[in-house]
Structure 1
């Protein structure tokens, strides 16, 4: 791909501003749907590069660069941060704080690498804008808010995304992970799990702690439910299939001598298969209703689903074409087939809204010597801070360079003039 090399010839020059922009973003993170300054910075950059810029979905930003006939490629980056107090000790660490709904002060941090995503896509947008002689078609750089709350992609779709930009032929996205820097993971089929959070309220009958015979104890009921939920994976899911049912919180009561009248359970569900996901949810509701009936619960249980993420499953042909381009462009050993991750994303709602194929890949961010040492000792889980950790700190180099190149190389699969 000589055209790719021509466009990427300016990469080292672009990385100078990218590094500084990344540090600025990292120092000034904003929570989901509150990415006002972040969106403004992105819009200013895209406008300066020559893109036609729109705000879609609140703090979402979309830039369109039309460059003659050809395919249309949509590339996406997420832009929000997390309510995490940074502990990396970096000289560009975030000291931002916000007041949460309980009135507590919490830190804000780009603990998932979205600042890398933004900077890499902006770098690719600049390289493509400056290298228009080397490609033909339309490039859409989409910066999505509120990925961490599973609401940003839907907000952009609900705000008319599919009618406000050209229909892409393909959609592309990536994620920085706590794997070896300089490596790129691709796979066909599921790469990220579907995810659902669920709040279950079960009802009892309150009484004095010394008079349990007058009660329907929701603590005992909740405990029975928690234990029986464990059988969904261990006894209802075929060995070899993947499912997670986690009870992250169980809350009831306020005092030792008071039997409460309700209990609340918070669950998290993950799966790689849509049919299995439906069955897991049905099993949860069946078990909860059955335990409530057995306990003599005076009211039906209540189920509230939230933070629901779709399955991210890569189109086989799109993944194959992009992987082949990566393998040709990067040094041997840099591109590998990754296993599906149990994390979840809402990216797929964007290509699904257009009805187009997509592929999603991972980019490593841990210095090679650090990662190799942890692998040799068998202590990766203990020694390498993962995404969402207060210690998560992607190595700027070579992570930014690789993540910028992947966007350009993937786009050229569809935008090269030979196509």
Structure 2
């Protein structure tokens, strides 16, 4: 990509700096300030504080389409264990999902587009979105008047790094990322001394039975032709070995692609939770609270075809594949569905190609290639960065008018 070599070292330094200074959802003040500073230097009109900590960078360059380029900027409550020289300096917080790479790639693309204004016509909206990890950032920016203030785009483009070989791109038309529902369940028992379990209604046993029963939803209630995932990510109860507590908390994560499957899974979760509580003699009805919800991300078929053709023409068509639908979730889809704007959101590899190839040959991908949200996840700087900037820039130029 023309001009990338000249800025590559600066972008690599930026990526390492962002990785070392991660910030949680809606607390991305340093990250937002750096994105805003750089975009202003590139010649963009920049507005901060959109959707609390979001940044919008606008470059008007004559008549033509408006193209929205999005990157998420928040990190996760994960303790990093990569051992990298640029590992997180913030205790218990890590860029374990690659949003630092997304931010860097978008800034690189904004720079290249600004420098190549003689080649294209239209408007670029660079959107640095907060709070993707809790599914609230896109909605916050839209509710803060994103389109009313900056214009409705003709297309929404974005990308996410994943644990497959760097240098590769993957896009799937139609439902591409699963919808997700996060639930918090509190089961109420009756506390007692550990020596007198007969005086209690044990919420630990109640919770354990509930966890096991929840595993039957996908295996026994969802047809094999459909996709659903039910995960109990946390079970919290008690403080001491000889005290039976009076309540237990479960945290659930549910992934689906279709509304009817989602409804069936959610109904089954409620039935099982309430049923196990009743069987155990719970002293009161359990609480079931929805914490976060991500909609299904649906890629527009025409937008995928056009975008991937533009990307493939630059990086090579042999490096573009269809990975199928993935069970990860993303709130970027709201930027498309809220205004019925076509969306193309793709994956780009972040794993060392040689290491990936060796693990694939040995059948040890799950063991040797860390996935997103792992404390060991860290994309290799190159060719991940080069591919990400090149793909996003080529995609944008594929929609802007050529001069």
Q: What's the TM-score once normalised by structure 1's chain length?
A: 0.91
CA shift, 1:60, in A, is: 0.6
The worse-fitting range, judged by mean Cα deviation, of 49-58 and 254-263 is: 254-263
Aligned mates of 1:85, 1:152 — CA distance in 2: 23
Q: Is the 8 A contact 1:205 1:215 kept in 2?
A: yes
Aligned mates of 1:219, 1:107 — CA distance in 2: 28
CA shift, 1:332, in A, is: 4.2
Superposed CA offset, 1:269-307 (max 9, x none): 111222211211111111222222333333221111113
Q: Is the 8 A contact 1:312 1:347 kept in 2?
A: yes
CA shift, 1:212, in A, is: 4.4
Say whether 1:152 aligns with 2:137. Answer: yes
Say whether 1:273 aligns with 2:248. Answer: no
> 2:44 maps to what in 1?
51
CA shift, 1:250, in A, is: 2.4
Q: Is the 8 A contact 2:188 2:284 kept in 1?
A: yes
Q: Is the 8 A contact 1:186 1:360 kept in 2?
A: yes
CA shift, 1:93, in A, is: 2.5
CA shift, 1:413, in A, is: 2.1
> 1:100 maps to what in 2?
none
The DSSP-based 3-state class of the residue aligned with 2:97 is coil
CA shift, 1:189, in A, is: 1.6
Aligned mates of 1:338, 1:381 — CA distance in 2: 17
Matches within 5 A, 1:248-287: 248-287=233-272
Matches within 5 A, 1:6-405: 8-55=1-48, 56-94=50-88, 96-97=89-90, 106-405=91-390
User: CA 1:390–1:250 in structure 2 vs 1: closer, same or farther (change >3 Å)?
Assistant: closer
Aligned mates of 1:212, 1:172 — CA distance in 2: 58
5+ residue gaps, structure 2: none
Q: Is the 8 A contact 2:315 2:390 kept in 1?
A: no
RMSD: 1.9
The DSSP-based 3-state class of the residue aligned with 1:285 is helix
Aligned mates of 1:230, 1:92 — CA distance in 2: 40
Q: What's the TM-score once normalised by structure 2's chain length?
A: 0.94
User: CA 1:396–1:202 in structure 2 vs 1: closer, same or farther (change >3 Å)?
Assistant: same
CA shift, 1:214, in A, is: 4.4
Aligned mates of 1:202, 1:21 — CA distance in 2: 46
The size of the alignment, in residue pairs, is 402
Aligned mates of 2:197, 2:151 — CA distance in 1: 65
CA shift, 1:182, in A, is: 0.5
Superposed CA offset, 1:65-120 (max 9, x none): 111111111010011122333332333222x22xxxxxxxx333222211111111
The DSSP-based 3-state class of the residue aligned with 2:316 is coil
Aligned mates of 1:210, 1:269 — CA distance in 2: 37
> 1:4 maps to what in 2?
none
The worse-fitting range, judged by mean Cα deviation, of 406-415 and 223-232 is: 223-232
Q: Is the 8 A contact 1:162 1:353 kept in 2?
A: no
Aligned mates of 1:402, 1:39 — CA distance in 2: 23
> 1:5 maps to what in 2?
none
Q: Is the 8 A contact 2:315 2:391 kept in 1?
A: no
5+ residue gaps, structure 1: 1-7, 98-105
Q: Is the 8 A contact 1:242 1:271 kept in 2?
A: yes
CA shift, 1:355, in A, is: 2.6
The DSSP-based 3-state class of the residue aligned with 1:42 is helix
Aligned mates of 2:356, 2:298 — CA distance in 1: 27
The DSSP-based 3-state class of the residue aligned with 2:390 is helix
User: CA 1:213–1:373 in structure 2 vs 1: closer, same or farther (change >3 Å)?
Assistant: closer
The DSSP-based 3-state class of the residue aligned with 2:47 is strand
